[in-house]
Amino acid sequence: MSRFSVKENRANRLEEALLEQIEQTAAERDELTAGEIESLDPEEFETVPYSAEGAERIGYSNYSYWRSTLRMFLKNRLAVAMLIVIVLLMGFAIVQAYLPGQGTRGLTEGILPAQGPQNAIRIYNWPDGTKDAGLPMKNQRPSGAFWFGTNAIGQDLWSMIWSGTRTSLIIGFAVALIEAVVGTFTGLLWGYIRKLDFFFTELYNVLNNIPTTIVLILCTYVMRASIPTLILAMSLTGWMGLARFIRNQVLMIRDRDFNLASRCLGTPTDRIIVKNLIPQMVSVIMLRMALAVPGAIGWEVFLSYIGLGLSVDTPSLGNLVNTGRAMISAPRLRYQLIFPAVILSVITICFYLVGNAFADAADPRNHL
């Protein structure tokens, strides 16, 4: 039947033409010129004697996951620069309170003896060192004494901003850490223990339907905002996305041949999880963590904005931006908004980009 079909005929003809073409090119290639033959290394044509060692040798590349990740990451100049900025910012935020002269700049020694993190919220009302001198130093524009100026009640914005950066970063890192630990752990349980699958899936379906905004507003409205309650409220929703991802990965990887082999060789489950499963998920876990930090900082700003954030005696980037916002209509005082806003944006953008760059670099598919 098919022999007479038009399609078959045409295909045959095509095939013949193709083969002919291939043969032709092959034939052309084969004719080396005398010069080329001359230049060939005669050693390549010598017969090698049998060697037991050589027969045992296997193909091996010196591929190392973390080294490749590092190399890929270093290739991304922008991300490296951002990482350096993050490290510097964080380092400075930590040591700033303990540097000499912080919070006492432009002031007589003695009023503010103690240095340390609590110093930031002190009010610098007494320029010449006595409480009776009157004249509060409020709304001072940036100057040599107050690098970022002072705010409406005479607090030094420089100290406030670094103190706020500390608060915001603490919240961000705590949320990221809780999210990663809880998310990974529940994800592994969810994927590994089949009996729990139904429970977790239904739980996910319910929780995933609730807008994050609502959870945050409700938690902070009911519990009153403080650093721990903010961390708790933000951690309540974040872990689910990661858990679901881990669960899907576990289901996909669990029964692959290398895990089957591992299990047959008697590897205990915890070792399979730690050695075989976790490394495949590192990139996503790290990405999630890196994105959780700016996310948490952003939510903190949001909550401060709607009046559910930290109180003003715990400086945070959120309430600094929020107090600065009140100055928006006075051009002379806009520095009170711009300084915290710029620091905030730098931090969040850096984390976002570094996180993405790291996730790209940590993905083995990009290691070539």
Partner 1 sequence: MLRYSLNRLLRSLLTLIIIIAVVFSLLRLMPIEGYFDNFDKMSPTQIQNKLTLMGLNDPLYKQLGRFIWRLIHGDLGTSTRYRVGVPITGILGKKILISFRFGILAMAVSLPLGMLLGVAMARGKGKLADKLGNAYIVFIQAVPNAVYFLFIQLYGAMLIRCSMLYKASDLRTAILPILSLALPSIAGYAMWLRRYMVDETNKDYIKLARAKGVPESVIWRRHVFRNSVVPMVQLIPGSILMTISGSIYVESLYSIPGMGGLLVDVIKRQDNNMVQALVILYSIMGILGLLLGDILMGIVDPRISFVKKEGSR
User: Which of 123, 325, 363, 364 forms a contact with partner 1 (CB under 8 A)?
Assistant: 325
Closest to 141 in 3D by CA, of 317, 339, 341: 339
Residue 353 binds partner 1, judged by CB under 8 A: yes
The phi and psi torsions of 123 (rounded to 5 degrees) equal -105, 125
Residue 165: both structure tokens together: 């950066």
User: Which of 73, 239, 351, 358 forms a contact with partner 1 (CB under 8 A)?
Assistant: 351
Instruction: Tell me which stretch binds partner 1 (CB under 8 A): 98-106, 116-124, 176-184, 343-351.
Output: 343-351
User: Which of 35, 42, 59, 211 forms a contact with partner 1 (CB under 8 A)?
Assistant: 211
Q: Which is nearer to partner 1, 95 or 210 (CB)?
A: 210
Residue 345 binds partner 1, judged by CB under 8 A: yes
Q: Which is nearer to partner 1, 126 or 351 (CB)?
A: 351
Instruction: Say how many CA atoms lie within 13 Å of 81 toward its Cβ.
Output: 5
Q: Which helix (H) or strand (E) holds 352?
A: helix 335-362
Residue 213 binds partner 1, judged by CB under 8 A: yes
Instruction: Give the number of residues written for the chain.
Output: 368
DSSP letter string over 174-215? HHHHHHHHHHHHHHHHHHH-HHHHHHHHHHHHHHHTS-HHHH
Q: Which is nearer to partner 1, 182 or 341 (CB)?
A: 341
User: Which of 214, 261, 326, 330 forms a contact with partner 1 (CB under 8 A)?
Assistant: 214
Please report how close the Cβ of residue 355 comes to partner 1 at its closest, in angstroms: 10
Closest to 66 in 3D by CA, of 254, 282, 242: 282
The residue written with tokens 């240095």 in the block is 115
Residue 226 binds partner 1, judged by CB under 8 A: no
Residue 100: both structure tokens together: 């000499």
User: Which of 321, 357, 359, 362 forms a contact with partner 1 (CB under 8 A)?
Assistant: 321
Residues 274-313 binding partner 1 (CB under 8 A) are 294, 297-298, 301-302, 305-308
Residue 269 binds partner 1, judged by CB under 8 A: no
User: Which of 55, 206, 265, 368 forms a contact with partner 1 (CB under 8 A)?
Assistant: 206
User: Which of 205, 257, 264, 313 forms a contact with partner 1 (CB under 8 A)?
Assistant: 205
The amino acid occupying position 30 is: D
Give the torsion through C-alpha atoms of 190, 192, 198, 201, to 10 deg.
Answer: 30
Residue 161 binds partner 1, judged by CB under 8 A: no
The phi and psi torsions of 176 (rounded to 5 degrees) equal -60, -45
Instruction: Tell me which stretch binds partner 1 (CB under 8 A): 47-55, 229-237, 256-264, 320-328.
Output: 320-328
Number of shown-chain residues binding partner 1 (CB under 8 A): 40
Output the CA torsion sign for 349, 352, 358, 364: negative
Q: CA-to-CA distance for 297 and 304, rounded, in angstroms?
A: 11
Residue 78 binds partner 1, judged by CB under 8 A: no
Residue 222 binds partner 1, judged by CB under 8 A: yes
Please report how close the Cβ of residue 257 comes to partner 1 at its closest, in angstroms: 18
Residue 204 binds partner 1, judged by CB under 8 A: no
Q: Which is nearer to partner 1, 122 or 244 (CB)?
A: 244
Buried b or exposed e, range 318-352, using 16+ CB within 10 angstroms: bbbbbbbeebeeeeebebbbebbbebbeebbebbb
DSSP letter string over 140-186? PPS-SSSTT-B-TTSBBHHHHHHHHHHHHHHHHHHHHHHHHHHHHHH
User: Which of 231, 240, 289, 337 forms a contact with partner 1 (CB under 8 A)?
Assistant: 337
Q: CA-to-CA distance for 293 and 288, rounded, in angstroms?
A: 9
Which residues in this chain contact partner 1 in the complex, by CB under 8 A? 194, 197, 201, 205-206, 209-211, 213-214, 217-218, 221-222, 248, 251-252, 294, 297-298, 301-302, 305-308, 321, 325, 328-329, 334, 337, 341, 344-345, 348-349, 351-353
